[in-house]
Amino acid sequence: MTIQKQGSLVCVGTGMRMAGQLTPIAQSYIESFDVVVAAVPNIFTHKWLQGVAKEYICLNSYYEDMKIDGKNRRDTYRRMADTILSEMRSGKRVCAAFYGHPGIFACISHMAIADARAEGYQAHMEPGISALDCLVADLGIDPGTYGMQSMESTQFMIYHRTIDTTALLILWQPGIAGELALKKLETNEEYLQILVNKLARSYSLDHEVILYEAATDPLEKTRIDKIRLGDLPRMKLKQITTLVIPPAKTLERDQSIIDELNAIAAQRGQVQQAA
């Protein structure tokens, strides 16, 4: 007989905007679990969590660890996951809260859930409203129209990636593009120029791209700056900036596949028109 260990973990997202983007299920875990362990930058969300949680542990100061010699962002994330896990191992029901969706470009939740399960604890994730969800709504872009590629900016830079210029490309974290040491939360003009040079293998420097920053509270204004790709290195980017690259080429039909599909339809006695 397996004995279920005491202590459990749920990872929830608080959404991008405090008002209205918290799901009812995330709210109920936040209010009812023994402890909320959170890494949320928005001051209003932070204050609200502190007010409603039975016990509250804020992880924001852990980012300071990156300044210590020999430590980088990965160590910070590991320490955050370890704090979540040690609360759970002490027998508590832990709700780990992150802004946006807790599992989108958010490795801490994935690490903590995998480790908790490997140790025999119950652990799961509840989805939240991510930056991508806000982007789709604010920019009026449907990822289904031309298809969508989504990747981290530095990963795009340092690995060979095949870009489909007939689809949308979303680059996350351009504000820390090229920062290989994982110690700073910023980029610079030279690194951004390298990003642009790589993108210029697939896109013209005149291609229009969008710098997107969703407003995270009622006092902020959403940033939707349409710029030339070639001008990117001189733009001010923040940690929250997302780079949106609309398609540069139109979709081309794959006639051989259309013919195969029509041949099958004809064999079945159906009449089919190519889309």
Q: In whole angstroms, what is the distance from residue 108 CA to residue 151 CA? A: 18
Q: Does residue 73 touch ligand SAM according to CB under 6 A?
A: no
Quick one: the chain helix, strand, coil %, rounded to 5?
40, 20, 40
Q: Which of 26, 59, 106, 108 binds ligand SAM (CB under 6 A)?
A: 106
Q: In whole angstroms, what is the distance from residue 213 CA to residue 100 CA? A: 13
| Cα–Cα distance list, 244 to 63, 95, 171, 229 (Å) | 27, 32, 6, 10
Annotated catalytic, 146? no
Q: Which of 18, 175, 192, 229 binds ligand SAM (CB under 6 A)?
A: 175
Q: Pick the piece of the chain touching ligand SAM (CB under 6 A) from 70-78, 161-169, 208-216, 246-254.
A: 208-216
Q: Does residue 101 touch ligand SAM according to CB under 6 A?
A: yes
Residues 114-173 that bind ligand SAM (CB under 6 A): 130-131, 172-173
Q: Does residue 62 touch ligand SAM according to CB under 6 A?
A: no
Q: Which residues of 79-101 are buried (b: 16+ CB within 10 A; e: fewer)?
A: ebbebbbebbbeebbbbbbbbbb
Q: Does residue 80 touch ligand SAM according to CB under 6 A?
A: no
Nearer to ligand SAM, 92 or 109 (CB): 109
Q: In whole angstroms, what is the distance from residue 257 CA to residue 60 CA? A: 52
Could you give the residue ranges of the DSSP H alpha helices within 90-188?
A: 107-118, 131-139, 143-146, 153-158
Nearer to ligand SAM, 53 or 135 (CB): 135
Residue among 118, 123, 112, 127 at smallest CA distance from 26: 127
Q: What is the DSSP letter of 91?
A: T
Nearer to ligand SAM, 176 or 229 (CB): 176
Q: Which of the following is catalytic: 17, 29, 93, 99?
A: 99
What does the angle CA 56 – CA 58 – CA 62 come to, to the nearest 5 degrees? Answer: 155
Q: Pick the piece of the chain touching ligand SAM (CB under 6 A) from 62-70, 201-209, 210-218, 257-265.
A: 210-218
Residues 230-259 that bind ligand SAM (CB under 6 A): 239-240, 242
Q: Which of the following is catalytic: 17, 29, 77, 121?
A: 77
Catalytic center residues: 73, 77, 99
Contact footprint for ligand SAM (CB under 6 A): 16, 100-101, 104-106, 130-131, 172-173, 175, 212-214, 216, 239-240, 242
